[in-house]
Structure 1
């Protein structure tokens, strides 16, 4: 998160009095240029519905996850469009499930005289409860969707304690 995200007003809403802004720009023209270039990039990116540049690379390479749990298992579903199962690695270690992946794409057109490549890596870490049996975990990859199923131990149901909520009636 950038510091400017904590400011309660946006750049378009905040107006510096004209004499002060002109005086400040005269003192530091590079600051003025820097501010203007940042504004232009933010405007362009905002127009495409993409978040601002801070953290954008990670957001684009990070798969969307869906987590679900029942008394019997924990299920992690990751959307990985354009990847094959050979491009993905799953590791369960020290109470953490880690999904690793790398996408490589190269296109070469000899008639057009160009080649194009795109590369990207991601890793997602998910904390697991102690009651999961990682040695019995299974994974399935189909049509760009990875489903990891982690069964819970039988003792897990015994360790869950429901706490009743009492209301104070006046």
Structure 2
């Protein structure tokens, strides 16, 4: 599971600078739209046939461009920014272990999301609107819950780890 996350991070080219930009709440919140956009792009094959590959490619490109599009936030004292910072902590858990309760819950939420992905993909393949919408809803709810847990993880970890504490920005400190 860790290797999959590491591969995804490398594929996305997530350097520390890009992570700082992704901590902008505009980046996090606008990225929430990715799954509905991908779903709509796949469903568009009904209306535009093979041209559906174009909106599908654009929606995948959005996943890559999004963390690079926004400037680093001046202030990270908000839910989405701290959720993104917590994701960095989560991905770094091989180097700096995280508390067991965060690890367990993160795995549970990622498993729920993975299982819902099967339903979502089936809905996309078979053009079943209810499977698509239900699977997508569960994926998105699990992801938002995961982000909430990452806020908690970051809050727990940053006081004891100067590297993590340094990621926190305050608009009044500039």
TM-score when scaled to structure 2?
0.21
Larger RCO: Structure 1 or Structure 2 (Cα < 8 Å, ≥ 6 residues apart)? 2
Greater helix percent: which structure?
2
